[in-house]
Structure 1
Amino acid sequence: MQTLQAPSLHLPRLNPVALITLAAAVLVGAPVAIAIFTGLVGGGGEAWSHIVSTQLLGYTLTTLGVIAMTALIIVLFAVPAAWFVSLNEFPGRGFFEWALILPLAAPGYVIAYAWADFADVGGPLQSLLRDVTGLSARDYWFPTVYSIPGLSFVMACALFPYAYLTARAAFANLSLCTMEAARSLGASPRRIFLQVALPAARPAIFAGLALALMETAADYGAASYLGVQTLSVGIFRAWHSFSEPAVAARLAFLLILIAFGLQFIERISRGRGSIQQTATRWRTPRRQKLGSLAGWSVALGCALVLTLSFIIPVARLVWVSAETGLGQGQIARPFFNSLILALAGAAAAFILALAIVIGARQNRFSQYIGRFTAGAGYAAPGIVLALGALFILSWTGMSVAGPAALVFLVWIYASRFTAAGAEPLNAAFSKAPASLGNAARSLGASRLQRLARVDLPVAMSGASAAAIILFVETLKELPATLMLRPFNWDTLAVQAFAYASDERLAAATLPSLLITAAGLGPVILLSLQLTRAGQSRAAG
């Protein structure tokens, strides 16, 4: 008699490396999971009913409006600049190719401080307008940065390089045969851009745009300073002003839905917009030299984008700081606090990123879990992750004070930025031949031996880039630091925000400039590396 056996479930074998990856994934995903859980099961009552009836629609529509306007400005800034820099020759092209990435060095709240001072009624821009026209402040209308369009402009200035980088890479990798086929059919340069290049680059543009818009939705510092009532501002107000962390968690759930929605739209556009090139003749197109008038017009447009997004904000901060000299005596302690937290956060995020990236090479289960949790942590705003940490502190009876708060803050940094550190490590593995692991396996090396002798040395080639990115991102983080730092443990970001919120912008300039300077070196290094890579590819 034949015995029937129940079908076996082929669960993945969890070797030690996979277990480490699973533990890293739990550490990365726990804060956002707890925030989502608390937002779903708690947060009811009179406070939530009051917010639903009076403020929820405004918070949501304002956030969506800022996202939409920011997207429009980013596309106008990034896509034409990427097209002309990648496939055209004009005066200053080599300079603009790397200089247009510089705004990444300054966080959005720093650019907000600078533009608010520069364009205010007493600032140099309106003062110059009155001097030239002879008008008084009551005689004319001037757009204010303290508005939804103003916040959108500020965020676009800070974040358009994300879309510029992805669009530039996509345009630079267009097939020569595709371009020549379009020209042979009599297509004009404008038609080639709109009907050939833009559809081919659309998935890459959407990828960079989605990343920028997730950062826009997560922003608290710029929105709060400019008085725009977004969901991030509402979350912080519910926690800090109304002492309703459960209500804040429910608002945070809506913000997470927006972030995941942006990720979903990006993936859909990537799938539908992907274009396969089947021709064997694949060479990068040569740059077309523009005429004198067209070339100088393009150079002027690129200069305008760079001036609005980086030169004016940084120059204004430098001018105010040099003119007043305020804040110099109180900068030492926040500087060292920032350095300690940034180093600790970068180290923790790097370790988790390394565990997730190496574990992803072991089996599909580890790959899926690691990438999903890292992506969720990066998509969730810092203010949401900080709420998750605060709930854990409350459940365990600990307070936001002393070493415990610092440990939780470092944990939130790691959860927020592990995905950013994983990208350079993944790039390092992608450059290594697959035969390395196969050779080690054929020689009888165990998993741990392959980890020590193959995987770790390969990953270390991307360690410097990952460490730099993590350090800079951690240094710029504001809302999580604002919510979790112990008393009298201010960082540069917190000090700049506190001064600016108290209308002491002159004192806020020095910490703002130090944050920007810390990010400037890595951004310039990244820009030069990308430029050299493009030159090598074109030469090859």
Structure 2
Amino acid sequence: MLQEHPLALAAMTVAVLVMMPVLAVALSLMDWSTGETWRHLLDTVLGEYLLNTLVLCIVVALGVASMGVTTAWLTTMLEFPGRCTLEWALVLPLACPAYVLAYVYTDFLQFVGPLQTWLRETFHWTRADYWFPDVRSLGGACAMFMFVLYPYVYMLARSAFLERAGSLVEAGRSLGLTPWQNFWRVSLPLARPAVVGGVALALMETLADFGTVQYFAVQTFTTGIYRAWFSLGDRIAAAQLATALLSVVALVLLLERASRGRARYAAGARGRVLHRRPLQGAMAWLATASCVLPIVFGFLLPGGLLLRMAIVEGDAQFGERYFELVHNSALISAVTAACAVLLGVLLAYAARLARSPWPSVANRVVGLGYAVPGAVIAVGVLIPVARLDNALAEAIARLTGNNPGLLLTGGIAALVYAYLVRYLTVALQSIESGLARITPSMDEAARSLGAGRGETLRRVHWPLLSGSLLTAALLVFVDVMKELPATLVMRPFNFDTLATQAYILASDERLAEASTAALTIVVVGLLPVIVLSRRIAHQR
């Protein structure tokens, strides 16, 4: 029971606080006062929201699956020029948020951009002589998501191939299977849970995005939430749209679970060393090109274009304003990372010590927050926090005679709360992984020496967890630095971050001025990517 240890009660309290915004959004379905707004949405854009969201999910799912599985299988099973470098470089696009790619490629591919200008000057074309696709479209948004999200599938599929490939691929070869048959009949079926899991992560990021679809004028549920709240002034309708988006996320997760059925995927023997099949000639260079192109379009080209804009065209706002943005972004990210690590230690330690299953249940509940888009969390946080704020203001006014106004809604505390709802599970997973590597016998040895639970945590667990704690803090810090929709909705007055500044300037077609903020986000995003790259290099 919860009385067995106070940490269990604390863990359940954290779980309730994390689920409160989601429950607030879901309870909005009980409010029927938004009929006029819903009739307007139904008559105008609701069908478009649904269709665009479904098309995004389908196209992105197919794209990231094909790119991620292909690159993972090539770097795991075959030997070709540059493979050792490409196997870790393929995760670099994770450093670039999709909305940053949207800004860069719009500038690069537009009519007055470098590419079309070069084509006209080289071939002496006029506007009527050629056709060029419009990147600011639904197809362009799909491409942006595919280039930055395929590493989710790549990393999970590659790990699955490494774990299961050694003996099973050799067995397939002994039965006369060609490499292509081995892939379809052995490797891919066994990697299916990893592939589906990576696709599910990519789809959740797609559904959570706001900057890309808004900048490309693609109407989805995420942009609809923002429009209902700020353009129509109807927070209940925004919450109900958020509930619809939450239903789509839940459907993605259910489909991921149902796709497995009753199948079980054992890892099998790992003792046999995997012998990669060497490629020769044109096939070897084709494999190299297949792995290089995603890196070029997802990281090298946009990174180079941002650097060029920042240096050649320059940022008129670089200076005091830029350093203010860096300070705001670093402050809010550091505060959230510190809180996430402390709460993550609390939750993980409660599950380790408690005899009841409740702390473990609380950790799983907290994990659901990451699947909730930032726009949904922002709406869910604002509804209960605004009510609490109004209640506090009324109480203080009755006691003092002065109305203090809103104390929580317009401050950093509510924004940090929203970030924690979404990113606490990122810290928790890293800390749980670190704790799992500490054997219970070490706890028993510490207790036999007279150390209590608090002293055991401080003197035994904390030093051993230092690496996991730093990783958790780093991942949360970078995620908060890149977060856009929740920040746009909930940031305090006159409190801009690098992400919001890049979005606002890009929306005003001031792409050169947005380049410095966007480039900083990419550089900071490289930090966890470097950590992932080192882990991949150690898996060879």
Length-normalised TM-score, structure 1:
0.92
The answer on whether the counterparts of 2:165 and 2:187 sit within 8 Å (CA) in structure 1 is: no
User: Could you list the per-position Cα deviations for residues 17-67 of structure 1 after superposition, in whole angstroms to 9, with x for gaps in the alignment?
Assistant: 111211221232222222222244456321122213332221011111111
Q: Which moved more, 1:403-412 or 1:442-451?
A: 442-451
1:369, distance to aligned residue in structure 2 (A): 2.9
Question: Could you say which residue in structure 1 is the equivalent of 2:323?
Answer: 332
Question: Could you say which residue in structure 2 is the equivalent of 1:428?
Answer: 434
Q: Is the partner of 1:142 in helix, strand or coil?
A: coil
User: Could you list the per-position Cα deviations for residues 476-512 of structure 1 after superposition, in whole angstroms to 9, with x for gaps in the alignment?
Assistant: 0111111111111111001110001111111111100
Q: Are residue 55 (structure 1) and residue 45 (structure 2) matched?
A: yes
Question: Could you say which residue in structure 2 is the equivalent of 1:221?
Answer: 211
Question: Could you say which residue in structure 1 is the equivalent of 2:382?
Answer: 390
Question: Could you say which residue in structure 1 is the equivalent of 2:402?
Answer: none
The answer on whether the counterparts of 2:163 and 2:270 sit within 8 Å (CA) in structure 1 is: no
Percent identity between the two aligned chains: 38
1:98, distance to aligned residue in structure 2 (A): 1.0
Matches within 5 A, 1:179-218: 179-218=169-208
Matches within 5 A, 1:14-163: 14-41=4-31, 44-163=34-153
Quick one: distance in 1 between partners of 2:262 and 2:150? 24
Q: Are residue 318 (structure 1) and residue 324 (structure 2) matched?
A: no
1:517, distance to aligned residue in structure 2 (A): 0.8
1:99, distance to aligned residue in structure 2 (A): 0.8
Q: Is the partner of 1:173 in helix, strand or coil?
A: helix
1:274, distance to aligned residue in structure 2 (A): 3.3
Matches within 5 A, 1:254-333: 254-270=244-260, 272-276=262-266, 282-326=271-315, 327-329=317-319, 330-333=321-324
Quick one: distance in 2 between partners of 1:445 and 1:403? 43
Matches within 5 A, 1:379-458: 379-396=371-388, 397=390, 405-440=411-446, 447-448=453-454, 450-458=456-464
1:13, distance to aligned residue in structure 2 (A): 4.1
Q: Is the partner of 1:328 in helix, strand or coil?
A: coil
Question: Could you say which residue in structure 2 is the equivalent of 1:374?
Answer: 366
How many residues were matched structurally?
A: 523
Quick one: distance in 2 between partners of 1:307 and 1:59? 31
Q: Which moved more, 1:78-87 or 1:427-436?
A: 427-436
Quick one: distance in 1 between partners of 2:276 and 2:446? 44
Structure 1, unaligned runs of 5 or more: 1-10, 536-540
Q: Are residue 353 (structure 1) and residue 359 (structure 2) matched?
A: no
Quick one: distance in 1 between partners of 2:69 and 2:445? 44
User: Could you list the per-position Cα deviations for residues 188-226 of structure 1 after superposition, in whole angstroms to 9, with x for gaps in the alignment?
Assistant: 100101111000111011111111110000100111001
User: Structure 1 residues 340 and 231 mapped into 2: Cα distance closer, same or farther (>3 Å)?
Assistant: same
Q: Is the partner of 2:81 in helix, strand or coil?
A: coil
Question: Could you say which residue in structure 2 is the equivalent of 1:462?
Answer: 468
Q: Is the partner of 1:517 in helix, strand or coil?
A: helix
User: Could you list the per-position Cα deviations for residues 116-168 of structure 1 after superposition, in whole angstroms to 9, with x for gaps in the alignment?
Assistant: 11111211222233334332222222221111111010011111111111011
The answer on whether the counterparts of 1:78 and 1:164 sit within 8 Å (CA) in structure 2 is: yes
1:265, distance to aligned residue in structure 2 (A): 2.2
Quick one: distance in 1 between partners of 2:380 and 2:267? 45
Instruction: Tell me the amino acid that sits aligned with residue 348 of structure 1.
Output: C
Give the counterpart of 1:515 among 521, 529, 532: 521
Quick one: distance in 2 between partners of 1:266 and 1:210? 7
The answer on whether the counterparts of 2:81 and 2:285 sit within 8 Å (CA) in structure 1 is: yes
Q: Which moved more, 1:213-222 or 1:39-48?
A: 39-48
Give the counterpart of 1:505 among 486, 511, 520: 511
Structure 2, unaligned runs of 5 or more: 394-404
The answer on whether the counterparts of 1:401 and 1:485 sit within 8 Å (CA) in structure 2 is: no
Quick one: distance in 2 between partners of 1:415 and 1:20? 16
Quick one: distance in 2 between partners of 1:73 and 1:131? 34
The Cα RMSD (Å) is 2.1
Quick one: distance in 2 between partners of 1:420 and 1:444? 34
Quick one: distance in 2 between partners of 1:423 and 1:368? 12
Q: Is the partner of 2:489 in helix, strand or coil?
A: helix
Quick one: distance in 2 between partners of 1:155 and 1:241? 27
User: Could you list the per-position Cα deviations for residues 335-391 of structure 1 after superposition, in whole angstroms to 9, with x for gaps in the alignment?
Assistant: 111111111111122222222222222245334432332222111111111112211
User: Could you list the per-position Cα deviations for residues 367-424 of structure 1 after superposition, in whole angstroms to 9, with x for gaps in the alignment?
Assistant: 4432332222111111111112211232121767789521100111111101111121
